[in-house]
A and B are shown apart, each in its own frame.
Chain A
């Protein structure tokens, strides 16, 4: 009995009407064809048997069936018709086999149409080998084929995931790393590592030991960092530490966010982390802390000055109204000086002419750039005042201007105020200012100033020397006040609260 094998395909081969096929009815099949069919049908390995000049499909087994998808029944049809979409590849291979060779291919890609005619990629390991008839001629071809599409897809998926991860690591400005959880040795370091740690990844990976990292970390930060890394076995956490960067010897602040990488069973085999250089952030935070402390210091100082001004003004006030007017004017001068200071950028200074113009403007003596006929200014612009002097100099100018307006050169039509200044070079440069009033009718005895002008005089004669190391002269001459101030204006003042 032909085809004793069991299975769906054995039944189909038996039931197939072969009379119209080039192979003819099975009763007429030669023994070689029958036995080859038998081999195919009894094999658990996917196989198909092609026979005769027309490459007719004589049999294929149950294992081969899935390869055909929803194609029409292949039995009795030409093999190259069944796989017409692969004809370009397998046609020439079959020619080879018919010459007596065996063709064997691995992971060959085909675009197949076996699912409602939709093209799909499929990979196969397969072999074509010749089958001989009784006379020893090649009469058929045995094709064994294993579809490896699923495996191939998984591999490609893995490859693209890996490629994506590599790209991610290469592009990240932060250093990504993976350590062995047991030995704490580095297993992976992303390219940014070189820049952030200031050593090459090759060197770091060569001496994988955690001691190598520890040797870069400043001694006082080592224990805490080591402890933090150990804690990554249990949970993720962030920690910051300083290293001395070997590439340039600079001390850099780094922050790492690390986390455990458990395997599917939950065991932590690796630790992962992202390390970032936060030196600039730290510097900004430190700078801000200094600025806040400085602001507090200035505010308290300013409150002290305001109180001193209030009690001083109170002592020389005839009435509450008198106090109100003069105190408000002094407070306004203080506000103008502080306004100039608060507009400064880091490292910038208020210049003397700027302060002077601000006060003249505040007193309504100039309007923009146009000077009153009664005031002349002469001196170089842009002489920088140490910030600690601005408030006191501003107040002094305010008092002088108030006095000039009320009792001096600016209070009479013929009066004139000339302010000249220059920068004297030296080990410490000095700003020299001469304030000269003229045309003042002496209506009161010289040397007996109005009680109110006493404050301006005191600021010039006592406050500037006390506070700023200035040399000053304040003289009431027959036709008006002459006041000379020499004020040191060092390029940079160490203890100066200058980062306004």
Chain B
């Protein structure tokens, strides 16, 4: 992976954190802010996430924990896909069976690495 100082591309970006484990969510928000991003949330449910995603111009990207407390975060990913906004799945499983249309979405393993997430979101 080429080291292209993700800070540059991340700086000022508004990144929504969807993660139900509060301690991890808070840690992730702090890590993204350390990279210069603006963190949104954290939120722990699909409904709360969709409310933010559907507000026009509210965010630039999102990180999605796959397994939320009662549901998977797929609907959020689909909404982001429609809007053409970058997102990355955070997963605790080595091999997770994603539905076909989400199979090519970038994913990062937990425990997260903020630089890796930034890289996955803004590599282009």
Report which A residues bind B (CB closer than 8 A): 293, 296-301, 303-305, 307-309, 311-312, 388, 392, 395, 459, 462-463, 466-468, 493-496
Contacts and interface: CB of A to CB of B under 8 A. Distances in A.
A303 B42 contact: no
Contacts of A299: 92
A307 B72 CA distance: 24
A301 B94 CA distance: 13
B24 A304 contact: yes
A491 to B, nearest CB: 14
B116 interface: no
Contact of A298 (B68, B71, B92, B111): B92
Contact of B70 (A296, A305, A494): A494
10 contacts: A297-B67, A297-B92, A298-B92, A301-B110, A304-B21, A304-B27, A304-B111, A466-B42, A468-B69, A496-B69
Interface in B81-110: 92-94, 109-110
Nearest to A395: B23
Chain B contact patch, size range: 20 to 34
A303 B69 contact: no
Interface string B48-74: 000000000000000000011111100
A428 to B, nearest CB: 12
A463 B92 contact: no
A305 B25 CA distance: 9
Given A392-B22, A466-B22, A307 B111 contact: yes
B30 interface: yes
Interface of B: 20-27, 30, 42-44, 67-72, 92-94, 109-112
A245 B110 CA distance: 43
Given A304-B27, A392-B22, A467 B110 contact: no
Given A304-B21, A459-B22, 18 more contacts: A296-B92, A296-B94, A300-B92, A301-B24, A304-B24, A304-B111, A307-B27, A307-B111, A312-B23, A312-B27, A392-B22, A462-B26, A463-B22, A466-B25, A466-B42, A467-B22, A468-B69, A495-B71
B97 to A, nearest CB: 10
A467 B92 contact: no
Contacts of B20: 466-467
A409 B72 CA distance: 42
Contacts of A303: 110-111
A468 B69 CA distance: 8
A296 B91 CA distance: 10
A305 B92 contact: no
A297 B92 CA distance: 4
A117 B20 CA distance: 95
Contacts of B68: 495
Given A298-B92, A300-B110, A463 B69 contact: no
Given A301-B92, A466-B42, A311 B27 contact: yes
Contacts of B93: 293, 296-297
Nearest to A305: B23
Nearest to A386: B69
Contacts of B25: 466
Give the top 4 A-B pairs by smallest Cβ distance, nearest first: A308-B27, A463-B22, A297-B92, A300-B92
B22 to A, nearest CB: 4
Given A300-B110, A301-B92, A308 B24 contact: yes
A495 B67 contact: yes
Contacts of A309: 23
Most buried by B among A304, A462, A468, A495: A304
B22 A462 contact: yes
Contacts of A304: 21, 23-24, 27, 110-112
A466 B49 CA distance: 12
Given A307-B111, A466-B42, A388 B22 contact: no
Most buried by A among B22, B43, B44, B67: B22
Contacts of A312: 23, 26-27
Nearest to A467: B22
A466 B27 contact: no
Nearest to A306: B111
Most buried by B among A293, A297, A466, A494: A466
B83 to A, nearest CB: 25
Nearest to A310: B27
A388 B69 contact: yes
Contacts of A307: 27, 111
Given A293-B93, A301-B92, A466-B42, A308 B69 contact: no
Most buried by A among B71, B110, B112: B110
B28 to A, nearest CB: 8
Contacts of A297: 67, 92-93
Nearest to B112: A304
Contacts of A466: 20, 22, 25, 42-44
A495 B69 contact: yes
Given A296-B92, A495-B70, A305 B21 contact: yes
A494 to B, nearest CB: 6
A496 to B, nearest CB: 8
Contacts of A459: 22
Contacts of B112: 304
